[in-house]
A and B are shown apart, each in its own frame.
Chain A
């Protein structure tokens, strides 16, 4: 687990470097999810970085596509592509690192995503297809908390409950912020737990920065039968950089060069 922490720290550095180079992008959510993406690509997922289309791979669907720098970064460190290429290529013309995930440019994204509330329905379809064919891989869907304001998402929650899609595991990045403020001020979401339970889901709440607990939660979710599981992962947006932690203003902006250098220094000393 100390190893995962170290890797996550490198993942964060790559996020900062690529955002500085891109001059735009979403910093808060990306840093906040670096631990979880690291846990996925270095421990949880059944995958082959050099054979991304391997049919038996677990499917990781990123619904809130705007935090894709965290995913790109974890994947780069896992060996899908070079770290250098990402740090210089994010959001740039002609690269595979589109501003929001685009599977035409990078098929290992599984789906093209970004417009909120759509990912869970897609994950339901993938998991359902796998169930029909007796495949034993899992489908994971990472969602933001803010996108739970979308009607489409709740239609999918209802659907997964009805069809008891137990090879589907949802992860909510519960960081309490969205672009214009705190979620509970913009449009209150609580109680997320009660809402999911009412739709016949199994719910686990966990500290999204505690690798041991998060991985345990996923293991629990994997053995759960007869219901889909959602893991509400409590995270800190901007994690690792004290001056931006929990600040919603850092949802949708990138650090400039000077800020980037300061942030990298803080990550190196942390």
Chain B
């Protein structure tokens, strides 16, 4: 059942569940952050509308910089602003930042260890119609291998908003990625959010599998948990929003409690959040893991729903992974 202590959206499973753009949550969060802290500045690479910077630009024109279609310079200028003492938010589509400017991020932000907040929007296969070039399926891998960098993947509008507020207090480089589409609002203003603290959103008395999910797919994980409950299979659902540094205590706890794990993300399986979970559990408490994600493929054009189904990120695919991991777990006894 839904974990009451997390104060989730009471209409979560209604047909008319409220849907919002996660990027709108980012835009709102940035506006509040700008009001709260004068050091906050924003940089756009010609995508201000798409990434919801317009309100910040109108409110704080002197703290807003348009670098043009130049993602490498986006990173280096942001690095300089942070070296000086500002808290810069550099924004683009994840396919281009960190896709285009990874070395600049590595050298001038991660190695320099300056608190640039890197926002990769329109991430994942769910970008849809724009096709494979614009569907960033590698950015979590690119960013989580960099020392000093915190990686956050919010599950909805509310969480993105809170994450912005938290990250301006976090004196480190941060990468936050989210997708393009309007997606169900899972959490509420009262839901907890702390960088590095994962949340169990669905709890059961006798769970046999933990679904560890990130981003908008946390919703599919919850739908799956609800369906399985009817079928007599109890699971846990973890919203693992901070991919790095991961909440190792919680992950170890659920691994011990359920003995089997399914990870869910809109990203290549190689190097993604699931890999991070596996790396950690392999050395602490090895349990069978199934990975729901993009399996060594590039995407194509289509609606989000079509692509999510085709590439196996839908509720049905998560269910299959759960059945499989339970079977593996039984066989190992």
Contacts and interface: CB of A to CB of B under 8 A. Distances in A.
Interface of A: 102-104, 110-115, 117-130, 132, 151-152, 155-156, 158-159, 162-163
A120 B111 CA distance: 17
A121 B103 contact: no
A122 B111 contact: no
Interface stretch (B62-70, B159-167, B183-191, B235-243): B62-70
Contacts of B70: 155, 158-159
A167 B111 CA distance: 26
Contact of A113 (B41, B85, B107, B113): B107
Provide the main secondary structure of the chain A interface.
helix
Nearest to A128: B81
Contacts of B65: 128, 163
Contacts of A152: 72-73, 76, 104
Interface residues of B, number: 29
B76 A126 contact: no
Given A118-B104, A121-B76, A125-B77, A159 B67 contact: yes
Contacts of B85: 129
Interface of B: 41, 62-63, 65, 67-68, 70, 72-73, 75-86, 88, 103-104, 107-108, 111-113
Given A117-B72, A122-B80, A151-B72, 18 more contacts: A111-B83, A111-B112, A112-B108, A113-B108, A115-B103, A115-B107, A121-B77, A124-B80, A125-B80, A125-B82, A132-B41, A132-B62, A132-B63, A155-B70, A155-B72, A158-B70, A159-B73, A162-B68
Contacts of B80: 111, 121-129
A192 B152 CA distance: 43
B107 A129 contact: no
Contact of A158 (B41, B68, B113): B68
Closest 8 CB pairs of A and B: A125-B80, A121-B76, A129-B84, A155-B73, A122-B80, A155-B70, A125-B81, A152-B72
Given A112-B107, A130-B84, A125 B79 contact: yes
26 contacts: A103-B112, A104-B113, A111-B108, A112-B108, A113-B107, A118-B107, A118-B108, A121-B76, A121-B77, A121-B79, A124-B73, A125-B77, A125-B78, A125-B83, A125-B86, A126-B81, A126-B84, A127-B80, A128-B84, A129-B81, A129-B85, A132-B62, A151-B72, A152-B73, A156-B76, A159-B73
